[in-house]
């Protein structure tokens, strides 16, 4: 049983306090999104996954994925790959870009990644897990962390063994998404399996999977006994959920839901950051996704989304979104 309020922990030169982490999500947790989320009480941000081969190819898009705010700390850059040479190069690259920690991804279930025996496919090969971690830990002077699933499939769950290997090879913090690769995103995350990792090691363990509000965060902590919480999908269009989870793990009262004005202020700022970071053309594509999420559960949201998704001009999108969000009743509840 985790003790509430959670006390946080030290990772290298940094405190992870509160131990509330924004989940890395490819195509979502770019700099604009993390900038918005940071004000809602998180203790650590992580970039989206960056494939070590992409680093080697030196694309501009890869550089943009690793761009950090000057005051964004503590922050991890997440890398993926199984060829130690490329993974080590990517780790050095992450350090040069200002990461406080390098996070290795061994949880990604995507076929293209698994085919290269990276992401969650690595969990099938414990020798490869150890070798990859060792290479990165030896290569960089900053803490190396790891994110895993509970195994490849139900028959080969090895979460406790992987946790122990990780600790023995020098991993300083472990995040466990309580699903196997075979489960993809189906069913419910198994928080007891996260507890198996927690029981196997002395390093901090962050629990992840299906935390959607303060109550589920506390239940995940109760079942797993782990040291912190990572939240992903529930934050899409609803960064306020982070404030709610933060309050829960710190033993504080649930914060009030945002007013329509507050919601619009965040949407507008998010859209502006997207344009500044990606340029208006790509920002407009990203806005369709994010603004659609922000409207979820609100009045006339299906009609709004249907209309908004067809707009491809960022300025027009901004105006249409303003009219929609400011036209809402200030007393509307948070998205479900
Ligand atoms: C669209 C999407 C992209 C994701 N990208 C990454 C990623 O780049 N790296 C990673 O470690 N996990 C990634 N994940 C997994 C999340 O970090 C997290 O483990 C998972 O969504 C379960 O947590 P949740 O139930 O709070 O969403 C991604 C998940 C989603 C939905």
Q: Could you read off the pLDDT of 158-169 as tens digits, one per residue?
A: 999 999 999 999
Residues of the chain with CATH 1.10.1200: 260-326
What are the helix (H) ranges across 104-259? Answer: 111-115, 126-139, 159-168, 191-200, 214-224, 240-249
Residues of the chain with CATH 3.20.20.70: 9-249
**Which two three-digit tokens encode residue 285?**
């594509």
CATH topology of domain 9-249: TIM Barrel (3.20.20)
pLDDT at residue 329, as a whole number: 63
- Stretches in the chain below the pLDDT threshold 50: 330-336
Q: How far is the CA of 30 from the centre of ligand 1 (A)?
A: 13
Rama region for 111: left / alpha / beta (φ>0; ψ in -120 to 50; rest): alpha
pLDDT at residue 117, as a whole number: 86
Can you give the pTM of this predicted structure? 0.96
Rounded CA gap, 231 and 213, in Å?
9
**Could you tell me which CATH number the domain at 260-326 has?**
1.10.1200
Q: Which of 322, 207, 332, 237 is nearest to 36 (CA)?
A: 237
Q: Whose CA is nearest to atom 30 of ligand 1?
A: 25
pLDDT at residue 334, as a whole number: 47
Q: Give, for ligand 1, the residue of 25, 80, 118 to mutate: max count of ligand atoms closer than 8 Å to Cβ.
A: 25
Q: Whose CA is nearest to atom 1 of ligand 1?
A: 25
Q: Give, for ligand 1, the residue of 23, 147, 286 to mutate: max count of ligand atoms closer than 8 Å to Cβ.
A: 23
CB of 21 shorter than 6 A to ligand 1: no
Residue with tokens 């969000």: 325
| Eight-class DSSP state of 121 | G
CB of 160 shorter than 6 A to ligand 1: no
């Amino acid at each position: 049983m985790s003790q509430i309020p959670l006390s946080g922990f030290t990772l290298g030169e940094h405190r992870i306090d509160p131990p509330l982490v924004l989940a890395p999500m490819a195509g979502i947790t770019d700099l604009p999104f993390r900038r918005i989320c940071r004000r809602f009480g998180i203790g650590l941000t992580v970039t989206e996954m960056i494939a070590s081969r992409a680093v080697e190819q030196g694309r501009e898009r890869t550089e943009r994925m690793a761009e950090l705010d000057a005051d964004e700390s503590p922050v991890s850059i997440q890398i993926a790959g199984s060829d130690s040479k490329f993974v080590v190069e990517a780790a050095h690259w992450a350090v040069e870009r200002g990461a406080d920690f390098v996070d290795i991804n061994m949880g990604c279930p995507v076929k293209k990644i698994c085919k290269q025996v990276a992401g969650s496919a690595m969990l099938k090969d414990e020798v490869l897990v150890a070798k990859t971690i060792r290479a990165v830990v030896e290569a960089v002077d900053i803490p190396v962390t790891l994110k895993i699933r509970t195994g490849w499939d139900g028959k080969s769950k090895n979460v406790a063994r992987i946790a122990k290997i990780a600790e023995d090879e020098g991993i300083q913090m472990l995040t466990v998404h309580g699903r196997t690769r075979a489960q993809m995103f189906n069913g419910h995350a198994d928080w007891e399996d996260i507890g198996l990792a927690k029981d196997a090691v002395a390093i901090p363990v962050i629990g992840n999977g299906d935390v959607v509000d303060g109550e589920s965060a506390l239940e995940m902590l109760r079942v797993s006994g782990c040291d912190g919480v990572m939240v992903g999908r529930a934050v899409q269009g609803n960064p306020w959920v982070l404030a709610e989870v933060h309050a829960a793990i710190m033993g504080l009262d649930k914060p009030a839901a945002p007013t329509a004005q507050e919601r619009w202020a965040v949407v507008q700022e998010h859209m502006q950051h997207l344009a500044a970071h990606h340029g208006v053309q790509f920002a407009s594509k990203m806005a369709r996704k994010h603004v659609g999420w922000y409207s979820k559960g609100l009045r006339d949201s299906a009609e709004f989304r249907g209309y908004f998704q067809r707009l491809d001009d960022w300025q027009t999108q901004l105006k249409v979104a303003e009219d929609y969000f400011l036209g809402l009743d200030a007393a509307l509840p948070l998205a479900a």
